[in-house]
Structure 1
Amino acid sequence: MKFLKMQGLGNDFVVLEGPISVANEVIVELCDRRTGVGADGVLVATRLDDAVQMEYWNADGSVAEMCGNGLRCIAQLAMGKGWVAPDGFIVRTASGDHAARRVGDGLVRAFVGTASTLASDVSSCGVNFHAVMIGNPHAVTFVDSVINAPVESLGPEVEIDRQFPHGTNVEFASVLSRDHVELRVWERGVGETDACGTGAAATVFAAHSRGDVDARVTVSLPGGDLVIEVDGDSVWMEGPAVSVFSGTWPAT
């Protein structure tokens, strides 16, 4: 089974060309950083007549509706293979269709999704969170410093809080200025990652809804910067996607 290793701001993936069926245990094996290829998740890219289909699994084998960094990687792969025109195309996911295009060398602009929030904040483990849905669920809290944020202790507790029946991603954000936010993310089914595209989008949407930031914001994550743009309830992102290496995994 041939694969390509790709990453977006350190959020890394094993990418397979579809159509292909992959068992959950194989996904877990591929993502294992000691005995496998090592990744935060597995992406399957399938060429369609007029678009590209993206499927995504977390490192624990669970299906995810959407992955922002994965979306950019699939877009970069499709452009590199000549499947699509780089000036604009559609990536189809479980959460809907996402327009994408090249905006620079290795840079992709893509529609993350339509965001919505619950009518009221959610309290979990004694902390208030903004619950945001943008293709997948997010719980965003704002802190004074992300360096000292309790990501590793609070993240896994909030992830499985029964207020989120399908689990949730957890964001710890600090607003540095009206156009700059610092962020760390505990990803559902993965743990803390270097970057999370939908997490950055959910965070800026929540901060913009509060009146804390402008419509276009740079989000600094451990893996690097993403640019997030909010237009009403629509959210867009711009960021890199890079191929790392290719290989073959024994068929199982």
Structure 2
Amino acid sequence: MVEFAKGHGTLNDFVLLVDPDDERGLSDAQVRFLCDRRAGIGGDGVLRAVRARHIDGWDGDPDAWFMDYRNADGSVAEMCGNGARVFLLYLREEGLIPADADVVDFGTRAGLRRGSFLPDGRVRLWMGRPTVSSTTDTTVTVGGSSWPAWSVDVGNPHAVTFLTDADDLAALDLATMPDWAPAERFPGGTNLEFVEVLADDAVRMRVFERGVGETLSCGTGTVAVAAAMATVQGRTEASYEVQVPGGSVRVDLTDGQAWLTGPAVVVARGELSERDE
């Protein structure tokens, strides 16, 4: 039997596992099973807590906890902002970090990240330095409509589209993956955000996540949207409320760096029967 937990950040949900010595590497099929909402537990991805020494290419603290994140289709992802908040809460609740630790460093495939537990129960993450393309270098198409998009790197790739006043965010058909051009702009795929501007410091977005489909939230996507918004506004320091179908988060930008603040919840724990495939 394998112990697991289930958690979410603004309804972006995950299966959580502890495997400190890398004894239970997951196949793509096992990840798909875990994330299957009928045959498995259900989730947008799997978060596995493993000591960083077991991760190929890691050259930082070997004893750091590493967030081994997999998308629902089994593919590996560099970073997950909502998942990282849930991951840190899980580490604390499992006793894997001190209960009184307010600040925690942890590893991801996008590099070292730092999270802080806030008194109100939210978690604040340092998200590194997002990079925004100098122009709208991508065209994104949904149905028969196309828009220019900003390419943003938050440790993983994003294409951010700002809708016009004539567009209806809620009416977009994101049941299938939107197209983008040029195709070679994102050879490994990308996350696609569609944004309605509500005010100078507030936006609403929907997202089609690489390897998952439309999700109710995407933490790195909210940071990508905030970084693109700041670029459009010509601002180097800014704070934004980013509303997603699963709730809202806050993104702060200063000196080229980004911080993401939002809720994290662990909702259940259980035991899973072993599977070989």
Q: Which stretch has the larger CA shift, 59-68 or 75-84?
A: 75-84
CA offsets, 1:3-47, max 9 Å, x none? Answer: 101111110000010233111100001111111101100010135
Selected match of 2:91 from 56, 73, 78: 78
Aligned match of 2:255 = 232
Q: CA deviation at 1:77?
A: 1.2
Aligned match of 1:221 = 244
CA distance in 1, matches of 2:266, 2:134: 40
Provide the secondary structure at the position in 1 that maps to 2:188.
coil
TM-score w.r.t. length of structure 2: 0.85
Are residue 59 (structure 1) and residue 79 (structure 2) matched?
no
CA offsets, 1:126-169, max 9 Å, x none? Answer: 4210000001000000113422334335x432399432101000
Q: How many residues align?
A: 251
Are residue 177 (structure 1) and residue 199 (structure 2) matched?
yes
CA distance in 2, matches of 1:243, 1:161: 38
- Answer whether contact 1:99 1:111 (CA < 8 A) is retained: yes
Aligned match of 1:38 = 42
- Answer whether contact 1:47 1:53 (CA < 8 A) is retained: yes
- Answer whether contact 1:72 1:110 (CA < 8 A) is retained: yes
- Answer whether contact 2:139 2:181 (CA < 8 A) is retained: no
Mark the runs of 5 or more structure 1 residues left unpaired by the alignment.
none
Aligned match of 2:56 = none
Distance 1:196 1:160, change over 3 A: farther
1:100-249 equivalence runs, <5 A: 100-121=115-136, 122-125=138-141, 126-143=146-163, 144=165, 145-152=168-175, 155-158=177-180, 161-211=183-233, 215-249=238-272
CA distance in 2, matches of 1:119, 1:228: 21
Q: Which stretch has the larger CA shift, 113-122 or 197-206?
A: 113-122
Q: CA deviation at 1:251?
A: 1.1
CA distance in 1, matches of 2:134, 2:232: 13
Which amino acid letter does the alignment assign opposite residue 16 of structure 2? Answer: V
Mark the runs of 5 or more structure 2 residues left unpaired by the alignment.
53-61
The runs of at least 4 aligned residues of structure 1 exceeding 4 Å deviation read 47-50
Which amino acid letter does the alignment assign opposite residue 38 of structure 1? Answer: G
User: Identity of aligned pairs, percent?
Assistant: 39
Which amino acid letter does the alignment assign opposite residue 93 of structure 1? Answer: T
TM-score w.r.t. length of structure 1: 0.93
Aligned match of 1:94 = 109
CA distance in 2, matches of 1:71, 1:231: 21
